[in-house]
C-alpha cells in the first residue's frame, strides 16, 4: 500500500481540519452534516467523484493511501448501527463501482473499506 507523505502545507491544512472538527464536536454539531452546509471540512476542490440525493463520495484531500475515498451519508446517523439497510445497500452498490474505478484508473491491486 502506497502512503503519500504530506508536505508541510498539507500538514498545516490537515491540522486546521482537525481543529474545526473538534470545534464542531465541542459544540455538539455533527461535522459531516455541517460540511454539507459549509464545505469547510472535506473541501470539494474537484475531489467529488459521485453524489446523489443520499450520499457524497469524494477523494480524501490528505490521503493515507492512494485513492482514499470518503463516503458520507446526507442523512445524519449517530453511528452506522442506525443506518437504514437500504442506504447500506446503496452505499455498497456505489462503492463497488468506485472500487472498479480504483482498479482500472489507479491500478489498485486491493481495495479496503
Ligand atoms: Zn451528521
% of the chain exceeding 90 in pLDDT: 73
Distance 60 CA to ligand 1 centre (A): 18
Distance 83 CA to ligand 1 centre (A): 11
Give me the chain's average pLDDT, please. Answer: 92
Q: Which helix (H) or strand (E) holds 88?
A: helix 85-101
- State in words which class domain 8-106 has: alpha beta
Distance 30 CA to ligand 1 centre (A): 5
The residue extents of the domains of the chain are 8-106
Cβ-contact 58, 70 below 8 angstroms: yes
Residue recorded with cell 467523484: 49
Q: Which helix (H) or strand (E) holds 12?
A: helix 8-26
For 26-75, write each residue's pLDDT tens digit. Answer: 999 999 999 999 999 998 888 999 999 999 999 999 888 888 999 999 99
Cβ-contact 41, 31 below 8 angstroms: yes
Distance 64 CA to ligand 1 centre (A): 23
Query: What would the grid cell of residue 51 be?
Result: 453524489
Amino acid at each position: 500500500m502506497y502512503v503519500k507523505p504530506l508536505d508541510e502545507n498539507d500538514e498545516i491544512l490537515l491540522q486546521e481540519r482537525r481543529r474545526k472538527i473538534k470545534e464542531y464536536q465541542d459544540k455538539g454539531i455533527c461535522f459531516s452534516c455541517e460540511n454539507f452546509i459549509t464545505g469547510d471540512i472535506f473541501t470539494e476542490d474537484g475531489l467529488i467523484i459521485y453524489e446523489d440525493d443520499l450520499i457524497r463520495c469524494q477523494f480524501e484531500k490528505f490521503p493515507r493511501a492512494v485513492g482514499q475515498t470518503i463516503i458520507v451519508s446526507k442523512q445524519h446517523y449517530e453511528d452506522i448501527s442506525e443506518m437504514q439497510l437500504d442506504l447500506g445497500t446503496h452505499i455498497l452498490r456505489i462503492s463497488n463501482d468506485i472500487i472498479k474505478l480504483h482498479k482500472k484508473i489507479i491500478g489498485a491491486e486491493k481495495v479496503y473499506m
